[in-house]
């Protein structure tokens, strides 16, 4: 390339929009993946973003350098790296022979050289790649890699000894909030949605077969698909799907309260009745909940929630906002420094079944906040993902119970659990 050619190429990149340059970069990686084996593509990715000193296609190298030197690159380049990673990881995740390449790609970012580089461009790109590992985009990408089946060459490690983060695959209701970020494009949303649907269907079928086996008392050829002991599983299933008040299930009672709420005169009156609807199973199971500290705190919280609307009739906005705030109160407040002392205490005092049953009553009454419940539990999961499972048994058991409660009440498997 002559000096004039080099100048014209550099100049054209400078004049191109960021979106145009990114699309050329994504197209290059897509072409590499289609034409080369995964190992070769990973080597090129490493040279481009980790070693950051070479690319066989000089034009692509110039594009990466230009993007790395654009204004706000420290804020924006993470989105470019994220999209580049998924351009390779999404297709590989659907190809069993290339599953190994997904965690291999993610792990590269943990090994960016920190020694001074000969070229300023290399130093800049390496810095941006290191910054990427401190973002929510990288956290979501790392969790995505945890979903991929990779043959285990060593001895099987008991679940109790594994990190919580490695268990994400078991809990499809966590996928959306764990794997998607605010910049996730529609393709990534579709991919996560498909993974969630497949996981829910698989687990739903396993639950149905195991329950059928238990009912018929046949030889135990179908394993328990949960981490709960068989007696605890049976008790939880019965509670989430069976009769809890007279001849009515949680679903029946939610429907009745939903019908009643349409006739209530004011939001103030609704909140008092809502408290009774939520806590009646707890009070029936444990007389302490007739008037204990938790009940008084929850009553006060509801009374103070959206109090400016107390004299108004119910609207969808009021109901949804109230239920979201209620889930914050019951499960966890905040994301950066989550506070969940109240939730932990409720689990300790009332147990997993009654506690998850309480959450189930909220989302059965207002299904629009089911994603918010999933989000709140995801905050807990992500906060503890580096812990070993045996260190937080309360969390693992809660996730197992939530799987059963949500799948049996919201799943569509053509099987009656009641």
Instruction: State the chain's maximal CA–CA distance in angstroms.
Output: 86
Of 359, 367, 401, 363, the residue nearest 238 (C-alpha): 401
Tokens standing for residue 182: 């605010």
Q: CA-to-CA distance for 135 and 131, rounded, in angstroms?
A: 7
Indicate the angle between helix axes 267-285 and 316-330, nearest 10 degrees. Answer: 40
Mean pLDDT by 10 residues, the chain (418 residues): 42 75 95 96 96 88 94 94 96 94 96 89 96 97 88 69 93 96 91 93 90 78 90 93 89 95 95 95 89 94 97 96 97 89 95 97 97 97 95 97 94 58
Of 124, 127, 100, the residue nearest 42 (C-alpha): 100
pLDDT of residue 413: 62
- Residues 6 or more apart whose CB falls under 8 angstroms from that of 244 comprise 250, 253, 281, 357
Q: Enumerate the domain spans of the chain.
A: 3-150, 187-410
pLDDT of residue 4: 35
Are the beta carbons of 54 and 47 closer than 8 angstroms?
yes
Are the beta carbons of 336 and 386 closer than 8 angstroms?
no
Write the secondary structure of the chain as one string of H (helix), E (strand) and C (coil). Answer: CCHHHHHHHHHHHHHCCHHHHHHHHHHHHHHHHHHCCHHHHHHHHHHHHHCCCCCCCHHHHHHHHHHHCCCCHHHHHHHHHHHHHHHHHHHHHCCHHHCCHHHHHHHHHHHCCCCCCCCHHHHHHHHHHHHHCCCHHHHHHHHHHHCCCCCCCCCCCCHHHCEHHHHHHHCHHHHHHHHCCCCCCHHHHHHHHHHHHHHHHHHHHHHHHHHHHHHHCCCCCCCCCCCCCHHHHHHHHHHHHCCCECCECHHHHHHHHHHHHCCCCCHHHHHHHHHHHHHHHHHHHCHHHHCCHHHHHHHHHHHHCCHHHCCCCCCHHHHHHHHHHHHHHHCCECCCCCECHHHHHHHHHHCHHHHHHHHHHHHHHCHHHHHHHHHHHHHHHHHCCCCEHHHCHHHHHHHHHHHHHHHHHHCCCCCCCC
First to last CA, the chain: 73
pLDDT of residue 101: 97
Are the beta carbons of 149 and 96 closer than 8 angstroms?
yes
pTM of the complete model: 0.91
CA-CA-CA-CA torsion sign (361, 310, 302, 244): negative
Burial of 156 (0-12, 13-18, 19+ CB in 10 A): exposed
């Amino acid at each position: 390339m002559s000096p004039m050619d080099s100048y014209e190429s550099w100049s054209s990149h400078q004049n191109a929009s960021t979106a145009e340059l990114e699309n050329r970069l994504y197209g290059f990686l897509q072409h590499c993946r289609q034409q080369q084996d995964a190992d070769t593509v990973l080597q090129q990715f490493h040279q481009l973003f980790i070693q950051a000193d070479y690319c066989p296609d000089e034009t692509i190298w110039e594009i990466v350098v230009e993007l790395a030197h654009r204004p706000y690159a420290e804020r924006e380049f993470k989105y470019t790296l994220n999209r580049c990673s998924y351009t390779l990881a999404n297709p590989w995740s659907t190809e069993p022979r290339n599953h190994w390449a997904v965690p291999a790609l993610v792990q590269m970012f943990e090994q960016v050289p920190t020694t001074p580089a000969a070229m300023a461009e290399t130093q800049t790109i390496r810095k941006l790649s290191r910054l990427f590992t401190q973002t929510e985009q990288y956290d979501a990408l790392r969790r995505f890699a945890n979903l991929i089946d990779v043959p285990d060459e060593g001895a099987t490690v008991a679940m109790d000894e594994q990190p919580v983060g490695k268990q994400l695959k078991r809990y499809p209701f966590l996928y959306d909030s764990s794997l998607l970020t605010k910049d996730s494009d529609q393709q990534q949303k579709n991919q996560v949605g498909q993974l969630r649907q497949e996981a829910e269907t698989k687990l739903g079928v396993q639950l149905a077969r195991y329950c059928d086996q238990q009912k018929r008392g046949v030889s135990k050829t179908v394993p328990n698909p949960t981490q709960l002991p068989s007696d605890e599983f049976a008790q939880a299933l019965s509670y989430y799907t069976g009769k809890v008040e007279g001849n009515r299930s949680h679903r029946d009672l939610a429907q009745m309260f939903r019908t009643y709420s349409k006739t209530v005169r004011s939001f103030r009156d609704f909140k008092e009745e809502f408290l009774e609807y939520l806590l009646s199973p707890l009070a029936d199971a444990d007389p302490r909940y007739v008037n204990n500290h938790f009940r008084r705190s929850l009553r006060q919280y509801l009374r103070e929630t959206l109090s400016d609307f107390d004299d108004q009739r119910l609207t969808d906005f009021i109901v949804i906002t109230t239920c979201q705030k209620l889930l914050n109160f019951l499960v966890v407040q905040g994301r950066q420094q989550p506070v969940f002392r109240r939730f932990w205490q409720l689990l300790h005092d009332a147990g997993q079944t009654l506690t998850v049953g309480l959450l189930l009553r909220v989302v059965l009454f207002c299904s629009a906040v089911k994603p918010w419940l999933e989000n709140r539990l995801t905050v807990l999961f992500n906060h503890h993902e580096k812990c070993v499972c045996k260190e937080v048994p309360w969390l693992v058991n809660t996730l197992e119970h939530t799987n059963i409660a949500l799948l049996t009440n919201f799943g569509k498997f053509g099987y009656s659990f009641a």
